[in-house]
Amino acid sequence: MSMGDFIGIQPSELKFPFELRKQSSCSMQLSNKTDQYIAFKVKTTNPKRYCVRPNAGIVLPNSVCNVTVTMQAQKEAPPDMQSRDKFLVQSVVAPSGATNKDVTPEMFNREEGKVVDEFRLRVVYIPANPPSPVPEGDEEGTSPGTSSAEDDIKKSSFSEAVAGSLNKLMGNSPSSE
């Protein structure tokens, strides 16, 4: 577990299943390791790409807060499936009895005598459908779910034959269009 002075953050990096045109989410857990109220705020280097809920709040003494980070659907894959995006989780001691509504941006200003704890997390993309470690076919032949090039040729020939038959039935010839 990653530790700051006030809160523990799990996991230490945000792993998103990456699939084009689909949003994905991951969670992080903020654990208050103190007997005090701790205010937190989550920032990112790419705020248009991610939605963080809650992005600020209070973690009660010796308790846990779950934060969900949602990556918006992406139109194209990044080079080498690498992300340069990062998150910063700031935490600071809050007044006893504070609620989420009491959290203000000013609480995280660096001032003399005030400790603002910071922890950085990087973003990692993982394939949404990782390849299976078990081979798809067994030694006796291919499994019913696999397709060979020969099967693909048969399927396309069949599709063309069906389309030709339908055209004849409808009285359309391929050249009449």
Domains of the chain: 7-127 (2.60.40.10)
Q: Is the pLDDT reported for residue 154 higher than 50?
A: no
Tokens 């700051």 sit at which residue? 4
Does an H or E element contain 153, and which?
A: helix 149-170
Compare 171 and 111 and report the one with higher pLDDT: 111
> How large is the average pLDDT for residues 141-166?
50
User: What letter represents residue 101's amino acid?
Assistant: K
pLDDT score for 119: 95
Q: Is the pLDDT reported for residue 177 higher than 50?
A: no
pLDDT score for 113: 86
- Number of other residues whose CB lies within 10 A of the CB of residue 60: 13
Residue 155, classed as helix, strand or coil, is: helix
> How large is the average pLDDT for residues 16-41?
96
pLDDT score for 1: 39
> How large is the average pLDDT for residues 17-43?
96
Q: Residue 176: which pLDDT band, with cuts at 50, 70 and 90?
A: very low
% of the chain at pLDDT higher than 70: 71
% of the chain at pLDDT higher than 90: 62
The secondary structure of 49-86, three-state, reads CEEEECCEEEECCCCEEEEEEEECCCCCCCHHHCCCCE
pLDDT score for 164: 55
DSSP type of residue 141: B
- Looking at every residue in the chain, the average pLDDT score rounds to 82
Residue 117, classed as helix, strand or coil, is: strand
From CA 175, how far away is CA 167, in angstroms rounded? 11
Q: pLDDT tens digits, residue range 59-68?
A: 999 999 999 9
- Name beta bridge partners: 118: 90
Q: pLDDT tens digits, residue range 103-142?
A: 999 999 999 888 999 999 999 999 877 555 665 555 554 4
Between strands 7-10 and 2-3, the pairing is antiparallel
